[in-house]
Chains A and B, each alone.
Chain A
Amino acid sequence: MLDISHISKTFNPGTVNEKKALTDLTLHLDPGEFVTIIGSNGAGKSTLFNAICGSFLTDEGSIKLGGEDITFMPEYRRARSIGRLYQDPMRGSAPGMTIEENLGLAAGSGGWFSHMTARDRARFRDQLALLDMGLEDRMKQPVGLLSGGQRQALTLLMATVNPPKLLLLDEHTAALDPGTAEKVLKVTREVVERHQITTLMVTHNMHQALELGGRTLMMAAGRIVLDVSGSERAGMTVDDLLSRFKAGTGKALDNDRILLS
């Protein structure tokens, strides 16, 4: 589904602030795979997502999605097949517009001059009901009135209302309180499972990294230093993961927000 081959990115090349954010990174994802990513601060996790989304063009290498070469495709065109959630729950929805307007924009069925139909509304209502947050009865309310967790759940729905080829989750529960985070995570799992979406998820929760999905990557200094899946991963504990990371990089995992439990 996703084929990243030998991409590199250096920010501010030739200056004192030169930063090699991605170094010759290659990654292949099969359709329907759910992959978690962990890594130190500045390991290049978000940069990898930005490269896939097209926030910048990579210096070298190519990116293919579903067989199509998207290396030079502008960000807004890639967004058609990539859904992305950020850590900031305010970032993915328009606060001044109602819930149904936000969903209508994200669903984007029909041409530029199409209006939202009763059928669209019914579909949105059904999908909102699955979130189990009572949002289906608040469709005419502006999104600015929702809590962070509700907005993140809505953003998830917006990103998947037309199932994308690839879903990128960038610590999307990190800014939420534990209870809400649990709920959003549960919804995430259900949505991904229902549509069989290929998913990459960055997390700083080691436990989550091993529990969710079927494959775990560890990144350090712009490279993937550890890639475990299958039976090897099934028996792994958080301690195993940490020692494997140390063995791979020669350094302990350094992340000021890491959760070990």
Chain B
Amino acid sequence: MLTVAQTALELGLIYSLTVLALFLSYSMLNVCDLSTDGCFTLGAAVGAVVAVAGHPGLSLLAAMGVGVCSGFVTALLQTKMGINSLLAGIIVNTGLYSVNMAVLGGSPNINMNKTVTVFSAAKSLLAGTPLAPFSDIVVGAVAAALVIVILTLFLNTRLGLAIRATGDNPDMVRSSSINPAFTTTVGLCVANAFTGLSGCLLGQMQKSMDVNIGQGVVTIALASLLIGATVLGRGGIALRAFGMVVGAFIFRMVYGVALRLDMPAFMLKLVSSVIVVLALSIPYLKSQWPVLRRRLTAGKEAR
């Protein structure tokens, strides 16, 4: 059980960065960014290539940088070219597959067994301390904590408020002399920077990455987001952002336990799909329930 929890915490912390990215784009900006899968892979690919070249620290910045570029393109398609936001994400996602293959030099995967990564660096740094066996968790926790702090500070600036208002009431943003195209662009750039970082860290922790590393990440992250919002949905931004990390952990925990109960690993994506469907449909079904009940009872009385 302890190993299940440890694995859940390691993966949960790293995936939580993507969940926090969706927290910004989906919960705040009200844009469902379907380029997340491709951007996650892009971050992992660029991060791996830069790390293999001998720059583990730089790999993180590079992954975030390419994330910003990817988010910028997605935003450009929807704000300046009039493409529906869902479609813009899908288009970018498709295009990114080729970009990712190109980054990887045409081969579908990269091995980082002998590469110095932030994780191996942390391991040698923490060697001999009581934290040594948990070095992966430490890296993930530091990353998640930094992102939460940055996100909280950012969302409380005037720009952050404008981004939140863009998702909440675009009419009002226009009448507050703010260009919604600008706030959407900034929001997507920042969100995708976190997604790229998340992919980069996952690749480096697993010491290998392949071009399918990001497949289905958007659904997994959305499931974690919805779990997190249920657990810690009310309160300030910092608390809600922390809830995202908790959601990612709970999701991984449930999945880990299911694996223990002999659920095959390939079921992960179906499980996450079902969670997302349940979380999104329950509020609607709840609102429909009184009507349904009336109909059922009325039917009985008629008989």
Contacts and interface: CB of A to CB of B under 8 A. Distances in A.
A95 B169 contact: yes
B157 A115 contact: yes
B158 interface: yes
Interface stretch (A58-66, A102-110, A128-136, A182-190): A102-110
A94 B169 contact: yes
Given A76-B178, A76-B179, A77-B177, A94 B164 contact: yes
B157 to A, nearest CB: 5
B206 interface: no
B290 to A, nearest CB: 22
Interface string B163-199: 0110111011111111110000000000000000000
- How big is the B interface, by class? 20 to 34
A236 interface: no
A162 B171 CA distance: 19
B177 A79 contact: yes
Interface in B105-142: none
B156 interface: yes
B157 A108 contact: no
Contacts of B162: 105
Nearest to B179: A76
A56 to B, nearest CB: 13
A97 B168 contact: yes
B271 interface: no
Contacts of A78: 177
B274 interface: no
A195 interface: no
A94 B158 contact: no
A105 B158 contact: yes
A104 B165 contact: no
Interface string A89-101: 0011111110001
B161 interface: yes
B175 A105 contact: no
Q: How large is the interface on A (under 10, 10 to 19, 20 to 34, 35 or more residues)?
A: 20 to 34
A93 to B, nearest CB: 6
B232 interface: no
A79 B172 CA distance: 10
Contacts of B173: 76
Contact of A94 (B165, B177, B180): B165
Contacts of B157: 112-115
Given A91-B169, A94-B165, A94-B168, A79 B175 contact: yes
B61 interface: no
A161 to B, nearest CB: 10
- Residue of A76, A158, A159 with highest tally of chain B CB at under 10 A: A76
B3 to A, nearest CB: 40
A261 B178 CA distance: 40
A97 B177 contact: no
A114 B158 contact: yes
A113 B158 contact: yes
A110 B159 CA distance: 11
B159 A112 contact: yes
Contacts of B158: 104-105, 108, 110-115
Contacts of A102: 165
A198 B95 CA distance: 52
A159 B158 CA distance: 17
A207 interface: no
A76 B79 CA distance: 15
Nearest to A78: B177
A84 interface: yes
A80 B165 CA distance: 17
Given A105-B158, A112-B159, A97 B174 contact: no
Interface string A110-154: 111111100000000000000000000000000000000000000
A3 interface: no
Contacts of B153: 115
Contacts of A79: 174-177
Contacts of A53: 175
Contact of B172 (A92, A113, A115): A92
Contact of B165 (A74, A76, A97): A97
B168 A105 contact: no
27 contacts: A75-B174, A76-B174, A77-B177, A84-B175, A91-B169, A91-B171, A93-B169, A93-B172, A94-B168, A94-B169, A94-B172, A95-B168, A95-B169, A96-B167, A97-B168, A102-B165, A105-B162, A105-B165, A105-B176, A106-B176, A108-B158, A108-B176, A108-B177, A112-B159, A113-B157, A115-B153, A115-B156
- Which are the 3 A-B pairs with shortest beta-carbon distances? A94-B168, A79-B177, A112-B159
Interface of A: 53, 74-80, 83-84, 91-97, 101-102, 104-106, 108, 110-116, 158-159
Interface of B: 153, 156-159, 161-162, 164-165, 167-169, 171-180
Given A74-B179, A79-B177, A110-B158, 17 more contacts: A76-B178, A76-B179, A76-B180, A79-B174, A93-B172, A94-B169, A96-B168, A97-B161, A97-B164, A97-B168, A105-B161, A105-B162, A105-B165, A106-B176, A108-B176, A158-B176, A159-B175
